[in-house]
Amino acid sequence: MALKVSRRGLVPPFIVMDVMRAANARDAAARTPDERCIHLEVGQPGTKAPAVVRAAAAAALESDRLGYTEALGIPELRARIARHYRERYGVTVPEGRIAITAGSSGAFLIGFLAAFEAGDRVALADPGYPAYRNILTALSLDAVGLPADREHRFQPTPALLERAGNLAGLIVASPANPTGSMLRPAELKALVEWCRARGVRLVSDEIYHGITYGETAATALQFGDDAFVINSFSKYYSMTGWRLGWMVVPPDLARSVEVLAQNLFISPPTLAQRAAIAAFDAAAECDANVASYRTNRDLLLARLPEAGFREFASPDGAFYLYADVGHMTNDSEEFCRRMLAEAGVAATPGTDFDPERGRRFVRFSFAGTTADMEEAARRLKAWRR
């Protein structure tokens, strides 16, 4: 007899991981460096963790037993994050409301479980980070896509929310993945207030804070304490594989978050926590990475039009260009397969972020080296000639 398979486990694949596998296979078969592909598909820094973080990790390996920590993380790190909110945003957050998690991904799991019941409807912008939708689905929540438009920089608006029906939650990200676009402070405030007035729980993904090219990003904490604010050491601090993030928990959910964290994870990774305390002293190194992303962004914005890529979502932050390729294809997955096979450039099809309209978009990540950006622009120009 066939054994039962859970429907909620049948979430769609994270397409970028499939693209990465194909690109890696091509690299493995390459005979010369020229045959290797340029990786513009993955959303992760090409740099190591900051030197002070690596030194702190080395010291902790020798001196610390590295046993479990408290479920919400080591007090020193939680206090350091509270200080970060005071210094960077001028907001006071008691360290008791800060939970350290296994990446922001761990924070989503705990946060969604603490805030929502199975069957609740949670809105999010299309295009958006695919795991939001897939984690919601795996938890038997109903992900409600908001068809965000270019005019509003692909961000949610109160008008879109009004049309979405009854909601329990809203997820926003600023800067966002895949667009890199940002909510202005007044727009974020309007969303916080819209949610508060209707009893809708806001989840603000602030993982790309620090990686901005003009205005600095506002935190939802500037407008109250009822939102979940989620962040991570993965991007600005260049620590993806260390699997460490955090969330600022609304006061009414503090205990359930702690209990869920105890049961689901026992504690976040201890070595990464010990090292991450030093990350806040690495601003010079992290900002130098951001300066290099800016160079990469400007280079691609100048050079990609030569290859026919002309329309981009407003790239205010993060390290992505979301390019409209509607004049070249209506099947971005096939387009990306050909781009990889024929030009040796890996990019992510928009369908990863927006199942329908993503057929006419491609996401380029510019988190790699400037030399790689130059080579990608050269290859794409030659490909499209």
Q: Residue numbers of the site for ligand PLP (CB under 6 A)?
A: 43, 103-105, 129, 173, 177, 205, 207, 232, 234, 240, 245
Cβ closest to ligand PLP, residue 361 vs residue 377: 361
β-pairing verdict for 98-101 and 121-126: unpaired
Distance between CA 128 and CA 259 in Å, rounded? Answer: 29
CB of 240 to ligand PLP, least distance (A): 5
Q: Half-sphere exposure of 28 toward its Cβ, with a 13 Å CA cutoff?
A: 6
CB of 90 to ligand PLP, least distance (A): 24
Report the amino acid identity of residue 209.
H
CB of 223 to ligand PLP, least distance (A): 20
CB of 105 to ligand PLP, least distance (A): 3
Q: Half-sphere exposure of 357 toward its Cβ, with a 13 Å CA cutoff?
A: 15
Distance between CA 332 and CA 75 in Å, rounded? Answer: 46
Q: How far apart are the first and last CA of the chain?
A: 57
CB of 6 to ligand PLP, least distance (A): 23
Cβ closest to ligand PLP, residue 339 vs residue 367: 367
Residue nearest to ligand PLP (CB): 103
Cβ closest to ligand PLP, residue 93 vs residue 207: 207
CB of 20 to ligand PLP, least distance (A): 12
Cβ closest to ligand PLP, residue 73 vs residue 344: 73
CB of 368 to ligand PLP, least distance (A): 15
Cβ closest to ligand PLP, residue 100 vs residue 343: 100
Cβ closest to ligand PLP, residue 155 vs residue 329: 155
Cβ closest to ligand PLP, residue 43 vs residue 358: 43
